[in-house]
Structure 1
Amino acid sequence: MDEARLRSLIPGVLGILVRRGADFAAAEDAVQDALAEAVRTWPEGPPRDPKGWLVTVAWRRFLDATRADAARRRREDVESAEPGGPDEPVSGVDDTLQLYFLCAHSSLSPSSAVALTLRAVGGLTTRQIARAYLVPEATMAQRISRAKRTVAGVRLDRRGDVATVLRVLYLVFNEGYSGEVDLAAEAIRLTRRLAASVEHPEVAGLLALMLLHHARRAGRTAPDGSLVPLSEQDRSRWDTAAIAEGVELLQAALARDRLGEFQAQAAIAALHADARTAAETDWVQIVEWYDELVRLTGSPVVRLNRAVAVGEADGPRAGLAALASVPASLPRHTAVAAYLHERDGDAGTAARLYAEAAGQAANLAERDHLTRQAARLNTRGR
């Protein structure tokens, strides 16, 4: 049984139940029950029409859960025959895009939107999502239940905001991977499905950005699990096919002349991927793209990354001058300052800042990397 193919059917099945009148929360529970039944029974003999089978089973589970009396049971037994049995083809509107919009509803917090997207659109179980986010299953179940209640009254035929959906998918991608669920790969899969549902240059831009970043994944860590900076990565380990696809998507998106932040970020990633060595990186053009990103977003994080690029293009002192306008409270600000001071020849200040940045690191791998940088400079100074 192809699990990815099975999960890809979930949004369409869920949309059919909701259009038949099931409330979102109950319909989603019924679809999950049908998914579990498919995992249990399909290896023995998958149906001719997998989607029709799932619709039939999910609809019956929904009806079973909502029966109140014998009369209603008899009436709904008749209704449950509508699909015509597990092997009858099911046609209708593809609600995948509307489910993206629903799961990224403005009333949901980012964490709830991500969890609901992974469950309702991605087809992941609560246990899988909880493991990926390293939280107890009960905690994730409560988060998803609250999210489903929040969007219960939202109609599927209302147009949603593509930009909000993209932000949610980017949040999923940035979680990377953990345990049995590779969230970066899952985000790419979901973004591909979104790209197939809507023509929008920023959707293509986000997919290109994901592919270009993911292509460097194998080179980001050493055999011992330690982080490898971009400038030191073995570029022969990068996925050239993913890079080529990302560049092609980006070029097509840019040709539409509707520049957005994900296209600009993808352009920066493409310039890194295009350089055969770190020394050949076109930092001048990267700074120009960061200037576009600042114009588009005004984000302090973008200005922080721009300071690094300026330091590479125009020298570390120019980078430090650019960094001076970025709030010092921003995560990674201290690490960037340490790097630029080292480039400027001030090893003592750099070592102190690396050690300070290690104490502020968001994860163990980053902390260990910064600690090693501080130790390296302190050893050199003796």
Structure 2
Amino acid sequence: MIEDVFRDEWPRVVASLARRFGDLDIAEEAAGEAVLAAVTAWRERMPPNPGGWLMTTATRKAIDRLRRESRRDAKHAEALMLQPDRELEPKAAHAVEDDQLRLIFTCCHPALAPEARLALTLRLVAGLSVGEIASAFLSSEAAIGQRITRAKAKIKAARIPFAVPERLEERLPDVLAVVYLVFNEGYLPGSDAELRIDLSDEAIRLARLLHALLPAEPETAGLLALLSLTDARRAARVDEAGELVTLDQQVRTSWNTELIAEGHALVRACVEVNRPGPYQLQAAINAVHTSAREFRDTDWAALATLYDQLYALAPTPVVALNRAVVIAELDGPEVSLAAVDGLPLAGYHAFHATRAELLRRLGRSREARAAYTHAIELARNPAEVRHLTRRRGELG
């Protein structure tokens, strides 16, 4: 219970302190000190408003640090202490009222390297650990830790203001990418079989705020549609034994019909705008899947067309891999396998899992078993490992 409070409230506290004090180090350290204080203070009983307790304690910790740091301007620190809820910048035409969303835009400043923007916001806004971020980036914890440290140092050295940009659209691609990564880490985390519902819900909340903030931008609608349609299948994704359930085996009556209806409506609105982007096309792909009453009813031709459009905008090996899965249903596993084998994805578990399934369909059991083994060695999520292990075991 206490762990859930810390996980939910820490990012909110950091975002609020960053807005107020304009210093990421102070915000993160004060929030961390408040959490440590709570571990002792809450041993016997949790306060009625744990989030408020953490915010008050963290604010006091931050003020104490400001008082100790003689290098800081005393008048500035005093003003902050006397005006605890002061806005630090005038409201822009697109005023971002949500602290966490404001912090995402701040951390996605163009002066920071793209990978640094993502790592920093995943740490400060989503509250992911360095290890979780390293898993999301397929990197080492040391490398991610250095990346975050350098990003915060860059913000301080370049005096990047904690202010909302006048043109939100300029940073929108990075902001959308951050929200999407937060959702993915919650939907299929790398270190736990259980879904991180808190992260998925937070990503959807931020996507809703972005869509409300920029209603004329179709990619914000596309991202919200994509997250809604994906999250609609949450209850069917993992079975009682903690094993991943693939799309063809999911019980579709357990899908969330309200989220599906919302996602379909957003996709239709994007089609009317006719300015396709990667998130809109991914949402449209999910709309096709969630429109089929049964797996056998899936419109594979429509999916192939959508993947062609997506690859034209985002020509990545992963998109090509997903398209090859569709081709297997249209032209057969042999044609699909030929396309898959040419992809540079040897370090990606889904590449080997896809090869294993195609080889299995072709009756090449020995090769399929080896591909399953490669996939198991690379898979991060225990639910996926269980599924792949069972599939390999069925080969005999």
TM-score, normalised relative to structure 2: 0.73
Conserved 8 A contact 2:237-2:245: yes
Please name the residue that 1:25 is paired with: 25
Please name the residue that 1:253 is paired with: 270
1:148, distance to aligned residue in structure 2 (A): 1.8
Equivalent in 170, 186, 189 of residue 202 of structure 2: 186
Conserved 8 A contact 1:114-1:172: no
Equivalent in 283, 288, 300 of residue 271 of structure 1: 288
RMSD: 4.3
1:317, distance to aligned residue in structure 2 (A): 3.4
User: Could you report, residue by residue, the CA deviation over 1:96-154 in whole angstroms, capped at 9, with x for unpaired residues?
Assistant: 555323323453463x54453245434x4xxx635856999999877644432232232
1:205, distance to aligned residue in structure 2 (A): 1.1
Distance verdict in 2 for CA 1:36–1:245, change over 3 Å: farther
User: Could you report, residue by residue, the CA deviation over 1:19-41 in whole angstroms, capped at 9, with x for unpaired residues?
Assistant: xxxx4433554566679899979
Output the CA distance in 2 between the equivalents of 1:374 and 1:119.
36
Please name the residue that 1:169 is paired with: 179
1:231, distance to aligned residue in structure 2 (A): 0.5
User: Could you report, residue by residue, the CA deviation over 1:289-341 in whole angstroms, capped at 9, with x for unpaired residues?
Assistant: 00111111111111111111011123333323443543463623333233234
Higher relative contact order (CA 8 A, sep 6+): 2
Please name the residue that 2:374 is paired with: 359
Distance verdict in 2 for CA 1:282–1:165, change over 3 Å: same
- The one-letter amino acid paired with 2:375 is Q
Please name the residue that 2:221 is paired with: 204
* Bigger Cα displacement from structure 2, 324-333 vs 304-313: 324-333
Distance verdict in 2 for CA 1:371–1:6, change over 3 Å: closer
- The one-letter amino acid paired with 1:17 is F
- Greater Rg by CA: 1
Distance verdict in 2 for CA 1:65–1:172, change over 3 Å: farther
Conserved 8 A contact 2:134-2:144: no
Please name the residue that 1:80 is paired with: 81
Please name the residue that 1:214 is paired with: 231
- The one-letter amino acid paired with 1:150 is K
Output the CA distance in 1 between the equivalents of 2:317 and 2:134.
29
Conserved 8 A contact 2:317-2:345: no
Conserved 8 A contact 2:238-2:383: no
- The one-letter amino acid paired with 1:216 is R
Output the CA distance in 1 between the equivalents of 2:221 and 2:386.
35
1:256, distance to aligned residue in structure 2 (A): 1.9
Conserved 8 A contact 2:352-2:374: no
1:249, distance to aligned residue in structure 2 (A): 2.3
User: Could you report, residue by residue, the CA deviation over 1:32-88 in whole angstroms, capped at 9, with x for unpaired residues?
Assistant: 6679899979945799x99x979975874463243469xx768854663234xx7x9
Please name the residue that 2:337 is paired with: 320
Distance verdict in 2 for CA 1:207–1:8, change over 3 Å: farther
Percent identical among aligned pairs is 35
* Bigger Cα displacement from structure 2, 56-65 vs 296-305: 56-65
Distance verdict in 2 for CA 1:91–1:144, change over 3 Å: closer
1:224, distance to aligned residue in structure 2 (A): 1.2
SS at match of 1:370: helix
Output the CA distance in 2 between the equivalents of 1:62 and 1:256.
51
Conserved 8 A contact 2:288-2:298: yes
- The one-letter amino acid paired with 2:171 is D
Please name the residue that 1:231 is paired with: 248
Conserved 8 A contact 2:218-2:275: yes
Distance verdict in 2 for CA 1:217–1:351, change over 3 Å: farther
SS at match of 1:298: coil
- The one-letter amino acid paired with 2:201 is A
Output the CA distance in 2 between the equivalents of 1:9 and 1:114.
19
Distance verdict in 2 for CA 1:241–1:99, change over 3 Å: same
Q: How does 1:40-79 map to 2 (within 5 A)?
A: 43=47, 60-61=63-64, 63-67=66-70, 76-77=77-78
Please name the residue that 1:375 is paired with: 393
- The one-letter amino acid paired with 2:287 is A
Distance verdict in 2 for CA 1:121–1:196, change over 3 Å: farther
Output the CA distance in 2 between the equivalents of 1:162 and 1:230.
31
Q: Give the number of aligned pairs.
A: 360
Conserved 8 A contact 2:221-2:266: yes
Return 5+ residue gaps in structure 1 as ranges.
none
Distance verdict in 2 for CA 1:38–1:257, change over 3 Å: farther
1:276, distance to aligned residue in structure 2 (A): 1.1
Equivalent in 314, 328, 333 of residue 297 of structure 1: 314
Please name the residue that 1:154 is paired with: 160
Distance verdict in 2 for CA 1:194–1:28, change over 3 Å: farther
- The one-letter amino acid paired with 2:103 is L
* Bigger Cα displacement from structure 2, 271-280 vs 157-166: 157-166
Conserved 8 A contact 1:13-1:54: no
Please name the residue that 2:358 is paired with: 340
Output the CA distance in 2 between the equivalents of 1:248 and 1:217.
19
TM-score, normalised relative to structure 1: 0.75
